[in-house]
Amino acid sequence: MTKLLKPVKRTATCQVPHGVNPSLVITLHPGGVIGLRESRRRREYLIAAGRLYAQLVAMEAKQHKRSR
């Protein structure tokens, strides 16, 4: 894989709650930061990739514990 030297943007259509534009722009920033925003909006929400990974692992463990 190559190193990320500048932000890379991609658009994805997702299932979202009512009132949210289903077309989301996902930006990968150098340094392991992920940005999400609605298409045609300026406000971008950022999260560190490591923090996102830790949250997803914790959610999966919680679901697994509930199902047992």
Q: Does the residue 2 lie in any domain? A: no
Task: Give pLDDT tens digits for 8-53.
Answer: 999 999 999 999 999 999 999 999 999 999 999 999 999 999 999 9
Residue 1 lies in a domain: no
Nearest to 12 by CA among 30, 25, 27, 3: 25
Give me the number of domains the chain comprises: 1
Percent of the chain with pLDDT over 70: 100
pTM: 0.85
End-to-end CA distance of the chain: 38
**Structural domain containing residue 24:** 8-67
